[in-house]
Amino acid sequence: MDSRETAHCSQPVAAAPKRPRRVLLAAPRSFCAGVERAIDAVEALLEHRGAPVYVRKQIVHNAHVVRELERRGAVFVEELDEVPSGALVVFSAHGVSPQVRVQAEQRGLEVVDATCPLVTKVHAEARRFAARGDTVILIGHVGHEEVEGTLGEAPEHTVVVESVPDVATVEVADPRRVSYLTQTTLAVQETTEIIEALTRRFPHIRAPGSQDICYATTNRQLAVEQIVEAADVLLVVGSANSSNSVRLVEVGERHGTRAHLIEDATAIEPAWIAGAEAIALTAGASAPGKLVDEVIVALRSLGPVTLVEHVATVEDLHFTPPVAARFR
């Protein structure tokens, strides 16, 4: 078993009728490079520095990952005042605002920053756009940790919009000096519609140098789009607070296919798959691949399964670990 994955054992969804099924497996699915890097950092610190390793917020948005790291000695806290002065603390993959960095310094904490480099890129853009005098329109979900962190880079110059209707009411200091950024884990299609609405309202709006929705989010949505219409139901492995996982469910629904977010195989309701001949299956970027394997095992307990993997694209991106978590 991969050390980062849980010892959790799935229970067959025994109440569903037995019948042959096809499982259309989306690829890419499961961990992205930013999630791998963040989990690897905590694991390396646990191994080389020993427990406890404090982590601000969930290192990645997955309950299984968090439980497994907790079992090995990670201590997850909501805010830095829960960390003893001078202790080691890891910042999660979603990033933090500059205010959190200042607080860490004031508390004398030793910081290991596991912010995904693709989130760090958005932070840098927020600073740059605000410094040139723009109002930064941040497309994203209010209250999401990543949005809180990015917003914190220039709070006086940033406004958040969540939807096309928000665009009509957003207020900016000067309509000719406006830029936009996006959360990295949004729905590609919906975000395009918001950007089009922004461009209609602010013809001078400036875009980031390259799109902020990350490669992993884009690829997982593309992979689902390519299979979901051939399926009776879509199962997405991921936690409810995982933005990119929830977006995958929405992709399925937008294509007219019933879709369900499941924490693991035990969450499958027999009624969802009772009449299903073809089941599309994927996992969000923070969900361990082992959980997908367990779903397949559970489905096999309900009759013969023909597994067909559809590879939309191949990912080979890896990020170097945070400097303070390199031990080799």
Distance from first CA to last CA of the chain, Å, rounded?
A: 23
Which residue in 68, 125, 145, 146 is the catalytic one? 146
The residue nearest ligand SF4 at its CB is 34
Q: Where are the alpha helices (DSSP H) in 107-228?
A: 117-131, 145-151, 164-169, 188-201, 215-227
- When the beta carbons of 44 and 214 are compared against ligand SF4, the nearer one is 214
| Closest separation in Å from C-beta 50 to ligand SF4 | 26
| Closest separation in Å from C-beta 216 to ligand SF4 | 4
| Closest separation in Å from C-beta 138 to ligand SF4 | 15
Whether the bond between 288 and the residue before it is cis, its omega within 30 degrees of 0, is no
Rounded-to-integer distance, Cα 223 and Cα 273, Å: 21
| Closest separation in Å from C-beta 115 to ligand SF4 | 9
- When the beta carbons of 185 and 257 are compared against ligand SF4, the nearer one is 185
Whether 148 sits among the annotated catalytic residues: the reply is no
Q: What angle do CA 240, 254, 314 make, to 5 degrees?
A: 75
Coil, helix or strand at residue 268: coil
Q: Is 254 exposed, middle or buried (0-12, 13-18, 19+ CB in 10 A)?
A: middle
- When the beta carbons of 44 and 285 are compared against ligand SF4, the nearer one is 285
- When the beta carbons of 214 and 259 are compared against ligand SF4, the nearer one is 214
Instruction: Name the residues that contact ligand SF4, by CB under 6 A.
Output: 32-35, 93, 116, 118-119, 184-185, 214, 216-217, 244, 285
Rounded-to-integer distance, Cα 280 and Cα 302, Å: 16
**Which active-site residues does the annotation give?**
146
